[in-house]
Amino acid sequence: MKTQTVWGGRFTEPLSSIALNFSSSIDLDKQLYAEDIAGSIAHVEMLAACKILTASEARRIRTALKAIQKEIESGTFVPDEKFEDIHSAIEYRLTQKIGTLGGKLHTARSRNDQIALDVRLFMRTAIKEISKLIVNLQRVLLYKAERYFDVVMPGYTHTQRAQPIQLSHHLLAYVWMLERDYERFQECYKRVNKSPLGAAAFAGTPFPIDRMMVAKKLGFNGIVENSIDAVSDRDYIIECVSACSILMMHLSRFAEELVLWTTKEFSFAEISDAYTTGSSIMPQKKNPDMAELVRGKTGRVYGALMELLTMMKALPLSYNRDMQEDKHALFEALNTTRKCLFIFSHIIVHTTIKTKVLQEAIQNDFLTATDMADYLVRKGIPFREAHEITGKVVQYCIEHKMYFGNLDLETLKLFSPKFDKDIFEAIIPKASILNKQSAGSTNPQEVKKQIVYWTRELRKRTL
């Protein structure tokens, strides 16, 4: 196998096939062929506009590049392991098609700023796709929040039942989390959307190029101003993968709740057969594998983030070959995040809430204990004393195998003379929810405000 490189003049022997195999990035960066060609076309058009190439030369190069893209997409030209990277593969094919003129394409450019450009172009598309998937998941959750608006469920702290809340309130909590994820990607996009092309290797170029012209042709909002910075940092990649990691953390939390809710022990929900699997040995099993896989794949994205941070740690300026390893982590994080967002929306759509089970759960527990304490506070008892009295009532019920609904006023007065018949209205789960007055609470009016807000906000975002 003959090695195809874009360097070698000062070398007395060819690159070892072993070294090529170890150092080649073609297996990963070949998926950047469209970005690489788009960047090359913009670059060659700028070279012509700046009189560095003739209009005829630029036209021939541009035509050949477009033809190469069609060849790659049709499979008639395959960038394979004999090339170091996608850049050398395309340049090799270009010179095959138009001869030595193909070598002029690389004027005033280095692979250092070329790959930084390709990655930024790729990331722009990926960030837009992820943003759309986030919005879609928000819409699915909003739909479920509206559908189950009147459903009350146990709220949890420390994985222990705590207070009654609206299921809609719980679902909307994830909508807000996802909104911050959405905002992080929008902010990241602003920093990604700067063109590094024209930085060359790292010091710039003596040719009178127009960096801003290339940036505008490719839809960038300006250039990376410092040529060293343009090729020697990967913080925009790290930021993007960090945003992916936080998003995946949110998905993993919801995935874990789905796993719990669909157990026999909880039985709060059921996922459609189409999004669950069975056991190879136990015929009765119905496993929430899709949710479990989302939970598990979160680790892959976390790993990508640590890979990038470790790769960049203590690297001196400017470019170092270590940075070639950024694509593995970036592609892993982006692809995993996209897949998980896509499947998660489908999981939620095909999940049914068992409202009767939730109704039983809020009745057969002490979820309104805080409301009992608050009742005593309104009767003039300090909260700490009210807390202790209520705790004793709970202990009494536990010892007598009963719940608040089984108590009578005579028994309650044994704990405090402040109890009156209106206590029984105060400790109904639905009343607990209605009594919440603070902004953003689980009160139906507050939850409705959030639903109205998100209906309006998400309608503005076109997918």
pLDDT tens, residue order, the chain (463 aa): 455 565 456 666 677 776 766 666 777 788 899 999 999 999 999 999 999 999 999 999 999 999 999 999 999 999 888 888 888 899 999 999 999 999 999 999 999 999 999 999 999 999 999 999 999 999 999 999 999 999 999 999 999 999 999 999 999 999 999 999 999 999 999 999 999 999 999 999 999 999 999 999 999 999 999 999 999 999 999 999 999 999 999 999 999 999 999 999 999 999 999 999 998 999 999 999 999 999 999 999 999 999 999 999 999 998 888 888 899 999 999 999 999 999 999 999 999 999 999 999 998 889 999 999 999 999 999 999 999 999 999 999 999 999 998 999 999 999 999 999 999 999 999 999 999 999 999 999 999 999 999 999 999 987 5
Residue with tokens 């060819």: 14
- The fold of the 112-197+228-354 domain, in CATH, is Fumarase C; Chain A, domain 2 (1.20.200)
Q: For position 115, what pLDDT does the model report?
A: 93
Q: Which helix (H) or strand (E) holds 304?
A: helix 289-312
Residue 106 DSSP symbol: G
The domain over range 361-447 is classified in CATH as 1.10.40.30: yes
Give residue 346's pLDDT: 97
Question: Domain spanning 17-107 has what CATH number?
Answer: 1.10.275.10
Q: Considering the chain, tell me which residue range(s) the CATH 1.20.200.10 domain(s) occupy.
A: 112-197+228-354
Q: Are 287 and 278 in contact (CB under 8 A)?
A: yes
Residues of the chain with CATH 1.10.40.30: 361-447
For residue 456, give the amino acid letter. Answer: R
- Alpha helices, DSSP H only, in 158-288? 167-192, 211-217, 227-232, 235-261
CA distance 89 to 459: 45
HSE of 106 in the Cβ direction (CA atoms, 13 Å)?
Answer: 17
Residue 269 near residue 352 (C-beta atoms within 8 A)? yes
Residues 134, 112: Cα–Cα separation, whole Å: 33
Catalytic machinery residues: 158, 279
CB 127 within 8 A of CB 146: no
Of 444, 268, 426, 442, nearest to 361 (Cα)? 268
Beta bridge partners of 352: 270
CB 236 within 8 A of CB 120: yes
Pair 130, 182: CB distance under 8 Å? no
- Within the chain, all domains assigned CATH 1.10.275.10 are found at 17-107
Q: What is the C-alpha to C-alpha distance for residues 413 and 416, in angstroms, rounded to an integer? A: 5
Phi, psi torsion values for 54, nearest 5 degrees: -80, 160
Other C-beta atoms lying within 10 Å of the C-beta of residue 228: 16
